[in-house]
Structure 1
Amino acid sequence: MNETKNTDHPQAWKVHSRKTIYRDPWVSVAALDVETPGHERFDYRCVQLPEVAVAAVVDDMRRVLMLWRYRVLPQRWGWELPGGIIDEGEAGADAATRETEEETGWRPNSMHHLITYQPTIGLVDAAHHIYGAHGARRIGEPTDPLERGRVEWISLSKIPQLLQQDQLMSSGTLIGLLHVLTMSSTET
């Protein structure tokens, strides 16, 4: 992925050791022995999650492909862009395409990288990669039973209203939609 590490900078923290405390396919927790410039060493905790690909698919009518679905942790319904975990060895754009097909039944046109960010930097290492596509074609019904929701093409003009109504869930959805709304239409 698009990883930039600046460990040669004089203000970079030094990691003396890293010990995994817990690991399963979805989450890893580690204890780090770190030292910051001018300070003593101390223990630091890190939660690591798999990398995620999110798809912002926009059509010629300036509508974005979204899902209305329930999420158990916040115990609420809301709108999301399709997306999910990037499988080992899978390219991010391929994961964004696969997740869109599985969750919506639409195959997006060629995906391109828009932005990568860390949603909760400082304690959690969970790179999110947002991809954009212009257009998609219907290939059938969604195939992922755990990720199903109501699939709709939502006008980009309605996004500010959905944001105001607190109906947009997940940082990937927010960052992807804000990127699409603020950048030129040639990037999506």
Structure 2
Amino acid sequence: MVDDAEGVPRWHVYGERTLYDNPWVRLVQQEVEPPGGERFWHHVVRLRNVAVAVVMNADDQVLMLRRHRFVPNEVGWELPGGFPEDGESSAEAAARETEEETGWRPLGEPQLISEFHPIPGMVDAKHSVYLFRDAEYIGAPADKDEAGAVAWIPRREISAILRQGSAQGSGTLVGLLYVLAGTHR
């Protein structure tokens, strides 16, 4: 296998075949060869990119949603977010999703906190997390499918949410850990 510029051995991808495809998820198999290994077919789940918003206010509170997710059948806390629409940047999507899901419109220039792949060995789903430093209330949430309790959570309560396992989703975890690290100031 050919190493990259830093000497890290790289996998070789020989091809890809689609097993299932719709606007939300695509399941493919890639024919791959790991460094020093044998060629084989590996399953890959491809999802659309995800945009997440950390919205803070002057009282050091984070805008969050408490809602039920049917896949794990759990109720927990989440940061607002979703998929960018055609022609929309991730930062624009994070702001739009916040407004639709919470009724609060983020203000100011978004700051990119992190971009990452939550399960890079099997799932292709880049997550972009943005910090907004203020918001204005514009009315009830418009997206009824994303219904949940909207709340401003004090920063000092975030550790308890994390310890209880009540934070849902990797974008939420990354955003909340950023806030706890105090680098949002």
TM-score, reference length from structure 2: 0.92
Aligned to 2:44: 46
Aligned to 1:83: 81
CA deviations 1:102-137 (Å, max 9, x no partner) are 000000012221101111121111111101000100
C-alpha contact 1:102 1:142 (8 A) present in aligned 2: yes
Q: Which runs of 5+ in 1 are unaligned?
A: 1-5
Match of 2:103 among 102, 105, 110: 105
C-alpha contact 2:117 2:124 (8 A) present in aligned 1: yes
CA deviations 1:56-112 (Å, max 9, x no partner) are 001111000001111111112111100011223210000000000000000001222
How far apart, CA to CA, are the structure 2 residues paired with 1:61 and 1:79? 19
Q: 1:183: how far off?
A: 4.0
C-alpha contact 2:178 2:184 (8 A) present in aligned 1: no
Instruction: Determine what percentage of the aligned residue pairs are the same residue.
Output: 44
Q: Which runs of 5+ in 2 are unaligned?
A: none
Moved over 4 A (4+): 6-10
2:16 aligned with 1:22: no
Instruction: Give the aligned length.
Output: 181
How far apart, CA to CA, are the structure 1 residues paired with 2:60 and 2:164? 21
- Please tell me the root mean square deviation across aligned C-alpha atoms, in Å: 1.6
SS of alignment partner, residue 176 of structure 1: helix
Q: How does 1:53-64 map to 2 (within 5 A)?
A: 53-64=51-62
